[in-house]
A = this chain, B = another copy of it.
Amino acid sequence: MFFEGSEKKVEIAVRPGSRSLRELGEEYWAEIVAQSNATILSRVTNEECDAYLLSESSLFVWDDRFLMLTCGTTTLVNAILQFLGTYGQDNVSMIVFQRKNEYQSHLQHTCFEQDIVALDKIVTGKAYRLGHLDAHHNYVYHLDAPFTPPEDDKTGELLMYHISGPVAEYLRSEGQTREGIRERLQIDALLPGFAIDDFVFEPYGYSLNAIRGGDYATFHITPQENSSYVSFETNLTTDGENANLFNQILQIFCPKSFDVISFNSSPVISVPANVNCIGHYAQRLECGYDMVFRHYLETVDQPLPAEQML
């Protein structure tokens, strides 16, 4: 029943004057997605963005950039290599490739070290290992080229582990429905005016893409007891207008542990007294992003799971 929820993520921007990424069409992107061992399930589109829901996470395509997230044992690096090879690496102005700590990293086809060796054969980048390896940590690679992100290019990631409470129970139950999940996640209130595309996996698991103009948000839920993981990511300004967004989501999932990762943004987090931030880093990426990580934990003595394997 184990499924690796932790995502690999890439964001790539192309040079002004390059061919529109949306014009490349669904067939092109289906081939890129296939390189990571995922497939396109469905699509929602508006005037600025095509959002693809994948068998393993999401792909958002704007004219001048795309964002791809994949979980499980997908090989996202192969999708990146395929894109660089077919679109032309000289047409690319920014790459940020990120891997989060996995529950079971030994089941992955490649490790981050191997991924960056493969990338470095084609482009020149910098890479960091951030955080303690025996706790939540991140790997990040970026193209070693100056880049000035647009003013509104802010990203917030909320990564939740060991979810609990009634919504977690529902997500692990039989007979759950798309409508039942949307209602419990309070999607209408959290993401007003967004076009929604979502999918309920068998026997568990839920993915949601949401777009509104150039804004996006995405949920990926792996509810399995003992290895639950829920990610939420958005370019909404979680420090201004939507300052309470992450806190609302935390109240829905009641995670025992969570991470907040931000790029040029400072999501506001207010937590109960028994939840503490027990580690942080702030890494200035020379490609124009301030990456900040904060690791939160319920610091009470919890009974830990014992799972019989044999």
Q: Which residues does chain B contribute within 8 Å of A105, judged by CB atoms?
A: 104-106
Q: B299 touching A278 by the CB < 8 A rule? A: yes
Known A134-B136, A278-B300, A280-B301; contact A306-B129, beta-carbon cutoff 8 A: yes
Say how far A59's CB is from chain B's closest CB, in angstroms: 26
Within the complex, which residue of B161, B278, B310 is in contact with A126, where a contact is CB–CB below 8 Å? Answer: B310
The interface-forming segment of A108-116, A200-208, A237-245 is A108-116
Q: Which residues does chain B contribute within 8 Å of A181, judged by CB atoms?
A: none
Q: B304 touching A132 by the CB < 8 A rule? A: yes
* Count of A interface residues, CB-CB < 8 Å: 55
Q: Which residues does chain B contribute within 8 Å of A304, judged by CB atoms?
A: 130-132, 137, 279-281, 293, 295
A:93-151 near B, CB below 8 Å: 101, 103-108, 111-113, 116, 120, 125-137, 139, 141
Say how far A289's CB is from chain B's closest CB, in angstroms: 14
Say how far A192's CB is from chain B's closest CB, in angstroms: 33
* Residue A227, interface by CB 8 Å: yes
* Residue A305, interface by CB 8 Å: yes
The 8 A-B pairs at the shortest CB distance, nearest first, are namely A127-B310, A127-B309, A281-B304, A103-B133, A299-B299, A129-B307, A131-B304, A106-B106
